[in-house]
Structure 1
Amino acid sequence: MWTDVVALRTYYESTPGQVSGRLLRGSVRACWPDVTNARVAGLGYAAPVLRAFQGEAERLSVLLPAGMGAVRWPAREPCLSALVDEQDLPLPDRSVDRLLLIHCLEFSHHPREVLRECWRVLTDQGRLMVIVPNRAGLWARLERSPFAMGQPYSPTQLSRLLHDTLFAPIRSTTALFLPPVESRVLLGSASAVERLGARWCAGFGGVVVAEAAKEFAAPVLRAHAARRVRLALPQALRGPSVTGPATRERDP
């Protein structure tokens, strides 16, 4: 079941959500430091993260799956969001340079089909980034977390899923080490907690952040070696000089 887009927007407009959005933007920016002249898209509720690229990317769009619902984004500027079928994106082949999935894959009943569609729209040198709830993190267990719904993944599970859909993982990390709290005192220490968590307990962040590139499957050619096949000829076809069963060779 998809989380309603209005509930996600309300969370990211709150103080805890603003802190979470800032930390997630930092994780994405660390992987994509420069998107100048790049065509960037987000699938799922990606607006809180992609806002970091406004005015920098050549083209920016937020694609909201139909099960989630749609909201206008940005609110007071030309609309960059659209309601889509996540398994049939309204984009041409190889039309996106950077694609972010967030609040998306964990809700889909067909994650492989979603990733194959992402593969289709990415350019050959494009990059995919996936942010999903971490199975080992607190954010997947606490109901007040926006990552508590849907299917959590471990880094290994996500890596395997990417491999299965012709993506080559480049890097994987976790983020959001501070539990989803509302205390302003604790939220004020979020950046410090993030640095300590990344260093000392990297496997226990609230979300898995994985970057991947397109992989191209080479055709597997099966070598057929010639082998001897002995065929017994009928007696009537044997020559007078043949003393045993006649044989001939052929390629299979």
Structure 2
Amino acid sequence: MDVIDLRNFYSQHLGIVARRLINRGIRSRWPSAKGQRVLGIGYPTPYLGLFREDSERCIAFMPAAQGVLKWPTARPTLASLVDEYALPLPDAAVDRILLVHALEMSDDPAGLLREVWRVMAPSGRMIMVIPNRRGVWTRTDATPFGHGRPYSRSQITELLRQTWFTPTGWSEALFMPPVSGGWLLRSALAWERVGAALSLPFAGVLIIEATKQVYRVIPARRQRIRLIPRLEPVLVPSAPASGRNG
């Protein structure tokens, strides 16, 4: 999606409620980021406000295909337009990474996660907010969560293992239907509490926390040995010299 469409969604009543509910899930995983280096990838700015004040530094990277907006609006810019598969950071540079509207929009999600692995510190942690394949929010394109590729738990678990991450925590958000009606928005928190208590399967997004596998398993490959026959020297009699005719 274009960055303007994402900004417009979060300026509407439905987007404001969605941000608050997802922030509850993120805050439950990361109560504090004091002294940490925090990076958001995708369109994370509605959620990075949780960590901007107490973190050592907090920046946002937005993919080139999506576009970038100035953030924060009234302070020096902390957002940049980047190539998501070649992040402008050295290895092991950040402690916390938040992916929102990133993985499901990416043409190469495995390539994106391997680049995240590279820039994450060995003790780093990552949170991904991903549309739930079974959720009702993926059934409509009126919200950003209805665009891109949604994931099930098994699919995202397999993708994380392939890219050298270990899932450590799961939660869900957006149990309410994606409707802008007044009474539905007012009862959004009640939907969240009931949905989480009953483990209902139709949450709009999955919130997954993962850590970096520092000592990852490297598949063994059998070395191919080319067999060359051993050649023994063989004595071959030389041809007799021809005599001269006198």
CA distance in 1, matches of 2:27, 2:49: 11
Shift of 1:201: 3.4
- Work out the CA distance in 2 between the residues paired with 1:29 and 1:126: 17
Residue-pair matches, total: 221
Provide the secondary structure at the position in 2 that maps to 1:116. helix
Q: CA deviation at 1:78?
A: 1.1
* 1:18-97 equivalences in 2 (<5 Å): 18-97=16-95
The question of 1:189 aligning with 2:179 is answered no
Displacement of 1:202 in angstroms is 3.7
Q: Which sections of structure 1, spanning at least 5 residues, go unmatched?
A: 223-252
Q: Secondary structure at the match of 2:146?
A: coil
Q: Does 1:109 align with 2:140?
A: no
1:119 maps onto 2:140 in alignment: no
Q: CA deviation at 1:179?
A: 1.3
Cα deviations by residue, 1:163-197 (Å, 9 ceiling, x for unpaired): 11000000122211111111122111111111111
Contact 1:42 1:63 in 2 (8 A): yes
1:177 — aligned with what?
Answer: 175
Deviations 1:203-248 (A, max 9, x none): 32101111100012145679xxxxxxxxxxxxxxxxxxxxxxxxxx
Once the two structures are superposed, residues 107-146 of structure 1 have per-residue CA deviations (whole angstroms, 9 ceiling, x without a partner) of 1111111000000000000001111110000111112121
Q: Which residue of 2 aligns with 1:238?
A: none
Regions of 4+ moved over 6 Å: none
Question: For the residues of structure 1 that align with 2:76 and 2:62, how far apart are their CA atoms?
Answer: 16
Q: Distance in 1 between matches of 2:2 and 2:139?
A: 19
SS of corresponding position for 2:170? strand
- Normalising by structure 1, report the TM-score: 0.84
The amino acid of 1:217's aligned partner reads: R
Does the CA-based 8 Å contact 1:167-1:212 persist in structure 2?
yes
Aligned to 2:98: 100
Q: Which moved more, 1:30-39 or 1:176-185?
A: 176-185
What stretches of structure 2 of length at least 5 have no aligned partner? 222-246
Would the aligned equivalents of 1:127 and 1:212 in 2 still touch at CA under 8 Å?
Answer: yes
Opposite residue 87 of structure 1, the aligned amino acid is Y
Separation in structure 1 between the aligned mates of residue 77 and residue 38 of structure 2, nearest angstrom: 15
CA–CA separation in structure 2 for the residues paired with 1:67 and 1:218: 33
1:6 is matched with 4
The SS at the match of 1:127 is strand
Q: Shift of the alpha carbon at 1:154?
A: 0.3
Letter paired with 2:108: H
C-alpha contact 1:70 1:82 (8 A) present in aligned 2: yes
Q: What is the match of residue 15 of structure 1?
A: 13
**Contact 1:174-1:203 at 8 Å conserved across structures:** no
What residue is the counterpart of 1:241 in the other structure? none
One-letter amino acid of the structure 2 residue matched with residue 192 of structure 1: A
Maintained 8 Å contact 1:40/1:59: yes
* Cα pair distance change 1:202/1:124, threshold 3 Å: farther
